[in-house]
Amino acid sequence: MCDTCGIGPELTGSGISIFGKNSDREADETQLIKSVPAQNYPANAVLQCTYIAIPQAGSTYAMVISKPFWLWGAEMGVNEKGVVIGNEALFTRVKPEKTPGLIGMDLLRLGLERGASAEEAAQIIIELLKRYGQAGACGYRDKKFNYMNSFIIMDRRGILKLETAGRDYALQRLSGYAVISNGITIAKDWDFSSLATGTDFSKFSDPLITYFAGSPFRRNRNQASILKAKGAICAADVFAMLRDHFASQPATGFNRDVCMHASDPLIRKSQTTGSLVVELHPDERFRIFVTGGSAPCLTAFKPFLPAAPFRDLGVGAGCYSDQSYWWRHEAYHINAVLRYDTVQPLVQKYIQDGESSSTKNLPAHLWESAEPDLRKISQDAFRESEDREKAMLERMKDIKKTSSLLASCFWSRMARRSGVPLI
């Protein structure tokens, strides 16, 4: 389960566009943040994607991507041209092809590294979809988990929504905003499609799985938040959207939290393992914010510089390592989840103070900017967040666990399997 939004200048009221996404994956699936440089390739070069190899482009754009550690593609990202893409699983009546192809995360990364605009990235994804199809396991441990994909693709000029089922697709051009949450949203109102004129694209939807995935509830909550703040939306508003819980406590109901919390191996097994917010400013300038780990309600969004990435954000595999930022945060996250009722209120001030400082002091900057003052703002934000989380871990030694028996068993099992130290 994931939630993605794109908001144009008409709704921000500041001349900027904002993208936000929570990437919801399996609970112990490491998600890395990588700054990938632009590259040139020789003729006839081959690119190995997650399951298949395809011809490499002659050149690729620099990009920042957030990706599950084990696959080639990405869950979300932005490139140096100001193209931002996030994808969502779609549950449809269309079954994946038996022959391996590209998966949605491959298509997303290919669109970022080859597309100089949202329109160009969308057409690249469409052409690759038609040529190679989408097929292959999308789950880390659950290799039976596969799905179709929808995308928000945006730049400074506009927002596109692209939804797919097999090799079919529908594309919709939007100017104000777009919100997607694991359900088909395009019916007959598409601007461009592989289908005959007037065909309802929503006919591909599997309504039962889509409903239990919580899709309409999460999408409606994000849409309501955007419309309520219309004309005055900033990054802090998107941070708040990505922290939204359906009830006073997370993991209540059928996957209706935007900030998704896993708590059992059957219904609530999806967890927000990474979050990204991108501001696209005029004059080719950016501000990029990431959590670097699970559960945005328990940690701050920190500014990320493509030209000076914080150490260890791109390090990590399938088990705990103190060399990995994601896993160091995960040790804090799992222990906090077991005491969520007590810990979550305690960490709110540090989160609010840190984000307030970052958003106030970080100027919009060019992609390649790495001046000492920018580096300091970014590096200090990550270091302070880690220091606060380490201090809270110490404090948790005197805080009783409050999670339910089912959730406690689930997270204790996750910790044992991955080697996370419990306190």
Catalytic residues, which ones?
2
Q: Which amino acid is at 106?
A: D
State the Cα torsion 10-11-15-17 to the nearest 10°.
-110
Would you tell me the crossing angle of helices 215-228 and 235-242 to the nearest 10 degrees?
160
Q: 87: which DSSP letter? A: E
Residue with the two structure tokens 């958003």: 359
Instruction: Please name the residues in contact with 95: beta carbons below 8 A apart, sequence gap of 6 or more.
Output: none
Please choose, from the candidates 84, 23, 75, the residue with its C-alpha nearest in 3D space to the C-alpha of residue 280: 84
Instruction: Please name the residues in contact with 348: beta carbons below 8 A apart, sequence gap of 6 or more.
Output: none
Distance in angstroms (rounded) separating the CA atoms of residues 211 and 202: 14
Instruction: Please name the residues in contact with 269: beta carbons below 8 A apart, sequence gap of 6 or more.
Output: 26, 27, 262
